[in-house]
Amino acid sequence: MSDSVVAGNCVICGHVSAMTVDPPRRTLARGTDPSDSSYSVTIVLPDVLLCDDHYHQFMSKELVVGWCDEESCRTYGAVGALSACGKPFAVLKR
């Protein structure tokens, strides 16, 4: 018997996640001409999965979840940490 709990791992530490935080909406410039704002698209990022510990840190604002928008990454991480491509995770503004 299986249940419908969303399987996933904490975006910060990789532990099995217990909590899902609303996915932020973000406008990201992904057009060919960055100076033309009409090329910006609003994308909905995937759910932010957090383990219990990181969820509480997130809610108490000790942890700021950021996003790396490099094509090879597009993952969440702690702001201030480096993502897999070597760039730091950027703060997500709502």
Least distance (Å) between residue 71 CB and Zn ion: 9
CA atoms of 17 and 81, how far apart (whole Å): 20
How is 4-63 classified by DSSP, letter by letter?
A: -PPP-B-TTT-SBP-EEEPPPEEEEE-SS-TT-GGGEEEEEPPPEEE-HHHHHHHHTTS-
48 contributes a contact to Zn ion by CB under 5 A: no
Least distance (Å) between residue 50 CB and Zn ion: 6
82 contributes a contact to Zn ion by CB under 5 A: no
Distances (CA, A) of 67 to 2, 4, 28, 71: 32, 27, 11, 12
10 contributes a contact to Zn ion by CB under 5 A: yes
Least distance (Å) between residue 19 CB and Zn ion: 9
Cβ proximity to Zn ion: between 54 and 66 the closer is 54
Return the residue of 19, 73, 79, 90 that touches Zn ion, per CB under 5 A.
73
Which residues bind to Zn ion, rule: CB under 5 A?
Answer: 10, 12-13, 15, 51, 54, 68, 70, 73, 83, 85, 87
